[in-house]
Chain A
Amino acid sequence: MPSIFEGTRELTAKIDSFLDAISEGAIVFQEGIANYMSGDSERFGHSYSTIEALENRADELRRSIESQLYRYSLIPESRGDVLDLLETMDDVINTAKNTMSLFMVEGPKMVPELEQDWINLSQAAARTAEAVVLAARAFFRDPRSVNDHLHKVYFYEKESDTLAMDLKRKVFETELELARKIHLRYFALNVDRVSDAAEDVADRLSIYAIKRII
């Protein structure tokens, strides 16, 4: 029955590609924010189109995986969990892309002294997303090691929260107009949302992993 094994191989590869897309999306997000801070709009535009393509690819893969899981009634016991996992994982890259599109459309004017704070915040958010991708891979391959990755997700998410809080405080300490302050706070909030989305996935994963181990 090579066709049955072929199907499993193909689906495994699709799940890996989906997770690759999320992980790459996190790296591109971080680069994109750095490009924006450096004022290089051309490179920022390139980062944006890359993350858009990755998000589309992730969407297509997710739909194809979902339909394959249903069509061949695979993993009946954990199908619900896997579908849920894929959808919340998709939220991570969606949030990253949406945040970048906000930068693209609204073009917030940055304060040069705070540029490094923005880069640090986007780095922490991207690390949270990368850590949750590793946890998701572990869920599929070795559920007992999921917790080894989850604690990193929570660590980076907390760091991201702290950095966002610091950044917002620093913004409000400047002499900028209130409208600009509020505008920048809104962006800090959106960058931090990427790590919140990753944390949501982590919360679910911790339960799914226990269910798989039992």
Chain B
Amino acid sequence: MLLFFLSSGLFLGWSLGANDAANVFGTAVGTRMIRFRNAALISSLFVIVGAVVGGAGAAHTLGKLGAVSALGGAFMVALSAGFTVYFMTRASLPVSTSQAIVGAIIGWNLFTGSPTDPSALVKIVTTWVACPLLAAVFAMLFYTIFIRLLVRFPVHLLWEDTLLRWGLILVGAFGAYSLGANNIANVMGVFVPVAPFKTLSVGGLFSFTGTQQLFLLGGLAISVGIFTYSRRVMETVGGSLFKLTPQMALIVVLSQAVVLYLFSSQELSAWLIARGLPTIPLVPVSSSQAVIGAVLGLGILRGGRGIRFRVFGEIALGWVTTPVVACVISFIALFFLQNVFGIPVMQ
């Protein structure tokens, strides 16, 4: 029964792996710099590591927005988010799992009469806006540094190619880690308060908490998504959507990885707190929007020709429509689950 209730989260994980892994390795695979098999292996491994090791921070913020208190409720919240992503993708509307899950949680809050923490909501929405902007700024900064380095230390074309391939693998691994750390909250976050996993001690050396076991499952679902469905998405991203050079791809993936890392790293937060500096909110953000932000940043840096500024409007629209649609679906679905199937959605 537990696995049945978790299935909606696992489905979300699968869809994340199928779609968002392309943000990390899409250009590298599309431009044939890295083979799909290698990309899938590296991204799966590091997504799982990121989810298990660094996933707690962003999940905690999501938990503050609304702690879904029954397994049935968590199942339906995740399923509603999954359906929202599915329907909006079918309708060719910009959508992000991060935004869908927030809407679905608010739907649960409204249905059960639980209060929605306004400060957590403001924090989350501010982060969504900051995410692509920050990615654009990072992309501009990294690209400028990269070009200056190339001018200062010219490299043979073939060595540049080899270094770029390794760079794409390293940055891709970092991107996959950040994706796992930041987005596992979308996949499994709602199950954290209700999952019955007990902390395991591995040989007395380290403990494996219930949340980590849950995130491991989510990470595995993401990996399955990567292996079963991301190939076509990767080839589309690299081949036709953005005409990026491998150099630009490296910068785009690095910027996205850094942004996702910033919004999920508890270590960085602790470091900032220790120095009395303002912390960065740990919130699940959209990796696709980070990529779009980074690509736009590069476009601006190169004179702003050919930038489709409508993309900005589409993203901004998604910040509103996705949570609203997810909230409505979640509210209705919870009503059915509770009143038709008699499954408790809260305690």
Interface, chain A (partner B; CB < 8 A): 4-5, 8, 11-12, 15, 73-78, 82, 139-144, 212
Contacts and interface: CB of A to CB of B under 8 A. Distances in A.
B159 A12 contact: yes
A5 B162 contact: yes
B163 to A, nearest CB: 9
B161 A74 contact: yes
A141 B32 CA distance: 23
A77 B245 contact: yes
B159 A8 contact: yes
Contact of B246 (A8, A77, A140): A77
B32 A11 contact: no
Given A5-B162, A8-B162, A144-B151, A76 B157 contact: no
Contacts, number: 39
11 contacts: A8-B158, A8-B162, A75-B157, A75-B161, A76-B31, A77-B31, A77-B246, A82-B157, A139-B157, A140-B156, A141-B156
Nearest to B157: A140
B193 to A, nearest CB: 45
A75 B154 contact: no
B33 interface: yes
Contact of A4 (B33, B151, B162): B162
Interface in B190-222: none
A141 B154 contact: yes
B33 to A, nearest CB: 7
B158 A73 contact: no
A139 B159 CA distance: 13
A6 to B, nearest CB: 11
Contacts of A5: 162
Closest 6 CB pairs of A and B: A142-B154, A8-B162, A75-B161, A140-B157, A76-B32, A73-B32
A207 to B, nearest CB: 15
A77 to B, nearest CB: 6
Given A76-B246, A77-B245, A77-B246, A140 B33 contact: no
Contacts of B154: 141-144
A68 to B, nearest CB: 10
A5 B156 CA distance: 13
Contacts of B158: 8, 11-12, 15, 74-75, 140
Interface of B: 31-33, 151, 154-159, 161-162, 245-246
B237 to A, nearest CB: 15
B158, B161, B162 interface centre (most CB from chain A within 10 Å): B158
B156 A76 contact: no
Nearest to A143: B154
Contacts of B246: 76-77
A74 B165 CA distance: 10
Contacts of A142: 154
B143 to A, nearest CB: 12
A144 B148 CA distance: 12
A82 B161 CA distance: 13
A89 to B, nearest CB: 15
Contacts of B245: 77
Contacts of B33: 76
Nearest to B33: A76
Contacts of A4: 162
A83 B151 CA distance: 24
Contacts of A75: 157-158, 161
Nearest to B155: A141
A212 B162 contact: no
Nearest to B162: A8
B157, B161, B245, B246 interface centre (most CB from chain A within 10 Å): B157
A73 B161 CA distance: 10
B31, B155, B156, B245 interface centre (most CB from chain A within 10 Å): B156
A77 B151 CA distance: 19
A11 B246 CA distance: 20
B32 A78 contact: no
Contacts of A11: 158
